[in-house]
Amino acid sequence: MSEFGKLQAPTLHRGINWVGLYTLYVKECRRFINIAAQTLVAPAVINLLYFTVFSLALKTNATDPSAFEATRNFLAPGIIMMSIMQNAFASVTSAILISKIQGAFVDLLLSPITPFEMTAGFLLSGMTRGVLVGISCLLPLLFFVSVDNANWLVIFYFALMGSLWMANLGLLCGILAQKFDHMNAFTNFIVTPLIFLSGTFYSVQGLHPLLQKIAHADPFFFIINGFRHGFLGESDTDLHLTMLVILGINLVLALVSWLVIRSGYRLKS
């Protein structure tokens, strides 16, 4: 039999197919790195505009320079985390939805990777974009805020957990959505309001007790509050409890994401 007539047996992977997982991860990372001006630089510019506008508004009514400085230090972490979460969500949900609309997701289903590896690849790429956006947003703000008391381990932990949280939501949204209108509706009516009302721009301690309880029921509050604690050393809740709550939510969401991908719901048809 000629060389071209021989059939090669398919490669069987025992355990985790690290090559397949790495390939998917790199593919998704290259997708947003190739347009870094839009995916990494633009969020930093928007963040700086947010910070500038709020700072000018605060400075107009400020009478105590130290209080004005403290308010700016309080504002910066919330704005950074908002960008981290929004971009981690957008990275995964757009990747899945575009692949479904173009009919390219079937190629991924036919590849020799398991639902676990597929889930991990998408989530890790979303986390990577979230963290990179966080870094790009933090660097210009270092010229305006103080980070002398920053706990970088806490900051990195909540940046990862916030990115993973939104990557999970983005994965589920991308699977459930059938067109871009569905994705935009989820973003505009669920994600954005929950982020804005979770203490991104203000402390919930100044709210009415009833509104404080509502804010504490918002999972986004724990992410932003913990991230801000890393910069200021102050928190509206117990730091260790916050870390455990976010970790628990992420584990549950990751399990749900894996189960949905394994079921093939709205992916195989």
What tens digit of pLDDT does each residue of 58-117 get?
A: 766 656 667 677 788 889 999 999 999 999 999 999 999 999 998 888 888 888 899 999
Q: Please, are residues 230 and 152 in contact by the beta-carbon 8 Å criterion?
A: yes
Which residues, in sequence order, are CB contacts of 87 under 8 Å at separation 6+? 39, 43, 129, 130, 133
Among residues 191, 222, 227, which one has the least CA distance to residue 204?
222
What tens digit of pLDDT does each residue of 223-243 get?
A: 999 999 999 988 777 888 889
Give me the amino acid identity at 236.
D
Three-state SS annotation for 88-125:
HHHHHHHHHHHHHHHCCHHHHHHCCCCHHHHHHHHHHH
Is residue 1 very low, low, confident or very high in pLDDT (cuts 50, 70, 90)? very low
Give me the amino acid identity at 148.
D
Q: What is the mean pLDDT of the chain?
A: 88
The whole-angstrom separation of Cα 216 and Cα 210 is: 10
The whole-angstrom separation of Cα 176 and Cα 172 is: 6
Q: Please, are residues 215 and 221 in contact by the beta-carbon 8 Å criterion?
A: yes
Among residues 218, 161, 224, which one has the least CA distance to residue 194?
218
